[in-house]
């Protein structure tokens, strides 16, 4: 057992990626420290979980807590045209076990993330909140720890042979190392808020995620939550949302409601509550997954357009994967970049498969219905990808989609040649 400010692993960020990695490492018996900038519970958007979030949640031992929670159960996703016409729901239980993978949740992130972080504490992880990491400490090119500032103003240094960047969209290490590359195909803006008491579907469909289209390949998300709340937001190109010179988030959102009859009808009841939020430059990836002594996890490695709600799945999955590999590295006392190559390749494969489906979604010639009608044999692959089963060979699906929407086969402009298979910066 080490003491003082020396640990087996440091984790920057206590969100889903960081908390899941901390839980697994602490469960193995390692001394792990989580440094979280905010005080939990704290607000965060991104409330929907897709079916293949089940596996990391099961590994973490959280399924019983979720089943006992008040979180809204989710069984499907539906797509709605601007005229209000809805597709047949994609029910996950038509392909997966209804009692496990096929039943997911719509969560309130302040409650869910606090559950995850407390779970890490219960496993033995040390957590410090309201502390801001200022820089990575290095010995040559090797990361050996971090310098952080507490709420009191005190500056303190912590050391470990491996540091995990789990800072989400902020991408602490990728930004500072110049690794972050924006996706030129997915440069969107989102405006969102919350409604209480608005209309929702009945029975099994009450918790469904609705993706409602607006002109120019924009879309609304509609995510029912517990306590009769709904998360609802619009995503589109900035030039579309700010047309007519309108830049106020509330004015933009209220105008866009009329662009989809389903959304207009469902928000005609209840009342809007809380602020209007806005964010831009949705999608980016890191050229590298880390360097010696540093590993990127979750959104800190790649932040994808949220149309298919893959964020929580990728965060939890990568957190568990990273922790398992770090456990082996600790046992071997070997933290060389090459040890994490398979982690990086696996994470990259899943992200790239989901990215390709997102590219297709934004193509005006693409629709799930048309692809399935022409290529019924890929219907299962579409459901798998929408559900988060993304670490598999989906080449047949991409070939079928190419009949309707060309999909870029390489990483976005700005990524160096060969970086698709580059695990870490060496």
For residue 223, which of 43, 102, 48 has the smallest C-alpha distance? 48
In 126-243, the DSSP E strands lie at 126-129, 131-139, 142-150, 155-159, 163-165, 180-182, 189-196, 209-214, 218-224, 229-236
In 281-386, the DSSP E strands lie at 284-286, 290-291, 294-296, 302-303
Instruction: Please tell me the predicted confidence (pLDDT) of residue 418.
Output: 34
Q: Which percentage of the chain shows pLDDT scores above 90?
A: 88
Instruction: Indicate the fold that domain 9-71+108-182+285-345 takes in CATH.
Output: FAD/NAD(P)-binding domain (3.50.50)
- pLDDT tens string 31-76: 999 999 999 999 999 999 999 999 999 999 999 999 999 999 999 9
Instruction: Please tell me the predicted confidence (pLDDT) of residue 422.
Output: 41
10's enclosing H/E stretch is strand 9-12
- pLDDT tens string 104-162: 999 999 999 999 999 999 999 999 999 999 999 999 999 999 999 999 999 999 999 99
CATH architecture under which domain 73-106+188-280 falls: 2-Layer Sandwich (3.30)
Measured CA to CA, the distance from residue 241 to residue 279 in angstroms comes to 12
Sign for the pseudo-dihedral over CA of 9, 11, 14, 20: negative
Angle at CA 303, nearest 5°, toward 301 and 309? 130
Whether pLDDT at 419 is above 50: no
pTM of the model: 0.94
Measured CA to CA, the distance from residue 133 to residue 157 in angstroms comes to 9
- Quick one: tokens of 307? 């149309």
Q: What is the dihedral of CA 58, 394, 168, 124, to 10 degrees?
A: 20
For residue 281, which of 259, 317, 305 has the smallest C-alpha distance? 305
pLDDT mean over 320-327: 98
Angle at CA 68, nearest 5°, toward 66 and 71? 55
For residue 1, which of 29, 25, 21, 22 has the smallest C-alpha distance? 29
From residue 247, alpha-carbon distances to 240, 242, 250, 282, 384 in Å are 11, 5, 9, 18, 38
- For the chain, the average pLDDT equals 93
- Quick one: tokens of 306? 């949220």
Measured CA to CA, the distance from residue 367 to residue 401 in angstroms comes to 9
Domain layout of the chain by residue ranges: 9-71+108-182+285-345, 73-106+188-280
């Amino acid at each position: 057992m080490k003491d003082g400010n020396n640990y087996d692993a440091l984790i920057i960020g206590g969100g889903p990626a960081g908390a899941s990695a901390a839980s697994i490492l602490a469960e193995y018996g390692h001394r792990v420290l989580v440094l979280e900038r905010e005080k939990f519970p704290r607000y965060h958007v991104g409330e929907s979980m897709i079916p293949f979030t089940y596996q990391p949640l099961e590994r973490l031992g959280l399924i019983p807590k979720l089943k006992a929670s008040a979180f809204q159960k989710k069984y499907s996703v539906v797509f709605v045209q601007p005229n209000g016409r809805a597709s047949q729901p994609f029910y996950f239980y038509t392909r997966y076990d209804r009692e496990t993978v096929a039943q997911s949740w719509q969560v309130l992130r302040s409650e869910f993330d606090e559950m995850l972080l407390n779970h890490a504490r219960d496993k033995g992880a040390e957590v410090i909140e309201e502390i801001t990491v200022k820089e990575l400490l290095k010995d040559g090119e090797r990361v050996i720890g971090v310098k952080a500032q507490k709420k009191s103003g005190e500056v303190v240094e912590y050391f470990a042979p491996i540091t995990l960047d789990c800072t989400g969209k902020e991408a602490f290490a990728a930004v500072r190392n110049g690794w972050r590359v924006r996706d030129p195909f997915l440069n969107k803006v989102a405006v969102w808020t919350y409604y209480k008491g608005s209309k929702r579907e009945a029975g099994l469909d009450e918790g469904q995620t609705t993706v409602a289209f607006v002109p120019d390949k924009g879309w609304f998300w509609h995510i029912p939550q517990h306590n009769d709340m709904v998360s609802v937001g619009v995503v589109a190109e900035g030039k579309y949302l700010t047309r007519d010179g309108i830049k106020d988030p509330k004015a933009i959102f209220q105008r866009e409601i009329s662009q989809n009859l389903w959304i207009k009808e469902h928000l005609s009841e209840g009342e809007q509550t809380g602020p209007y939020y806005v964010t831009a430059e949705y999608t980016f990836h890191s050229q590298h997954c880390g360097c010696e002594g540093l590993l990127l996890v979750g959104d800190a490695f790649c932040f994808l357009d949220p149309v298919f709600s893959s964020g929580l799945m990728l965060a939890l999955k990568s957190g568990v994967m990273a922790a398992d590999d770090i456990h082996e590295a600790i046992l071997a006392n070997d933290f060389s970049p090459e040890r994490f190559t398979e982690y990086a390749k696996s994470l990259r494969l899943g992200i790239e498969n989901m990215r390709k489906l997102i590219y297709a979604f934004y193509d005006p010639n693409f629709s799930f219905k048309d692809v399935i009608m022409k290529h019924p044999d890929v219907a299962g692959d579409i459901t798998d990808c929408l559900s988060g089963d993304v670490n598999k060979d989906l080449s047949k699906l991409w070939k079928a989609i190419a009949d309707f929407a060309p999909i870029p086969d390489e990483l976005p402009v700005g990524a160096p040649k060969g970086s698709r298979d580059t695990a870490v910066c060496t």
